[in-house]
Structure 1
Amino acid sequence: MNSKFNHIAIAVATTFVGLGAASLLATPAMAAPVMLLSNSVALSSEAMIERQEIGADGKERIVLKQPKDVIVVPGDRVVFTLRYVNKGSEPAADFRAVNPMPGPVQFVSVAEDWAEVSVDGGKSWGKLADLKVLVAGEDGAAATLRAAAAEDVTHVRWIFAKPIAPGAEGTISYRGMVK
């Protein structure tokens, strides 16, 4: 197994803002770390490799595998999942999570329609279809703008519109593909 590539391909860094700020670097080859922010919101992250298998019934199905259990190769789909739970007694207001795209992984999609992406290192945010990328002109030509594409995404962000109630838990996720 190419463990060096496995480690690099699925490393995920997440910044959580809202009751405090912290960063999390995790590789699913280890136990998913859990982080507690201001004694209220506990977070954990996980990355899984999506594979197609033939079931006992002969039908094809999608399964998620731990990266340590497979050889990760270019073209593999990765599902990044962030789990959150408010362990406090008060609602967690103004909570947000920001995930930089791991270098060896290209953005594919985000599960929540309220998530935003950035194509400029986190300076500006929006829906991918609404974003533009500045392209340098060749041979002295002026720079131009083009529609942003999945390969331009540098970050994914979720801003929770409503406070996370005490005891509430859930997940947010996005998909990528190993370059």
Structure 2
Amino acid sequence: MNTFKNMIAALLVASTAAMPIAAHAQNSVDVSGDVKAVETSVDEAGNETTQLVEPGVIIPGGRLVFGTDYTNNSDEPAENFVVTNPLPTAVRLAPDADPDLIVSVDGGNSWGTLASLSIANEDGSTRTAAHADVTHVRWTLASIAPGESGRLEYPAIIR
């Protein structure tokens, strides 16, 4: 039981460490990150409801959504604003993530869609990168208008 509690604590610490990094940051854009657990319930009529809740007891295979909120607090547009989120090692990118999401599988050294990236095997061969290989996700916002705000999200599964 203590091992399980330690795993939960480690995940929560890791998720806190996975807050967004605003590359090319402009002081006028505020970013903040959070993580929510995906909770699905079925009512007496058999209707399924899914909601995002504060993480509580989490287990391998559980779903999370990592989010980044941004707001441009200046009178000028923010151009080519880049937000990079490292994935905590306790999670993997969910298979239903947007296939156009820009990701890295090598710690942020190279970027592309998952389908365009590959992993080098120990024997020198390569294989197509998989969701479990993703180390970072990145969004580039062409322009954030003055006063504009929004949210960026990616789904993850606990390893």
The verdict on a shared fold, with TM-score over 0.5 as the criterion, is yes
Q: Distance in 2 between matches of 1:153 and 1:172?
A: 17
Structure 1 unmatched runs, 5+: 21-37, 138-142
Identity of aligned residues (%): 34
Q: Distance in 2 between matches of 1:158 and 1:103?
A: 20
Aligned to 1:165: 145
The aligned amino acid for 1:116 is: I
Match runs of 1:15-164 below 5 Å = 15-20=21-26, 38=27, 40-55=28-43, 57-67=45-55, 70-108=56-94, 109-111=96-98, 113=100, 115-137=101-123, 143-160=124-141, 162-164=142-144
The aligned amino acid for 2:37 is: I
**Contact 1:18/1:93 (CA < 8 Å) preserved in 2?**
no
Specify whether residues 112 and 131 from structure 1 end up closer, same or farther in structure 2 by C-alpha distance, changes over 3 A only: closer
Q: CA deviation at 1:3?
A: 5.4
Let me know the Cα RMSD of the aligned residues: 1.9
Figure out how many residues of one structure are paired with residues of the other and give that number.
152
SS at match of 1:95: strand
Specify whether residues 126 and 96 from structure 1 end up closer, same or farther in structure 2 by C-alpha distance, changes over 3 A only: same
**Contact 2:19/2:33 (CA < 8 Å) preserved in 1?**
no
Are 2:158 and 1:178 equivalent residues in the alignment? Answer: yes
Q: Distance in 1 between matches of 2:74 and 2:99?
A: 25
SS at match of 2:150: strand
Q: Distance in 1 between matches of 2:114 and 2:89?
A: 19
Q: Distance in 2 between matches of 1:130 and 1:102?
A: 22
Structure 2 unmatched runs, 5+: none
Q: CA deviation digits over 1:58-105, x for unaligned, max 9?
A: 3122121201xx211111101011111111111111210111110101
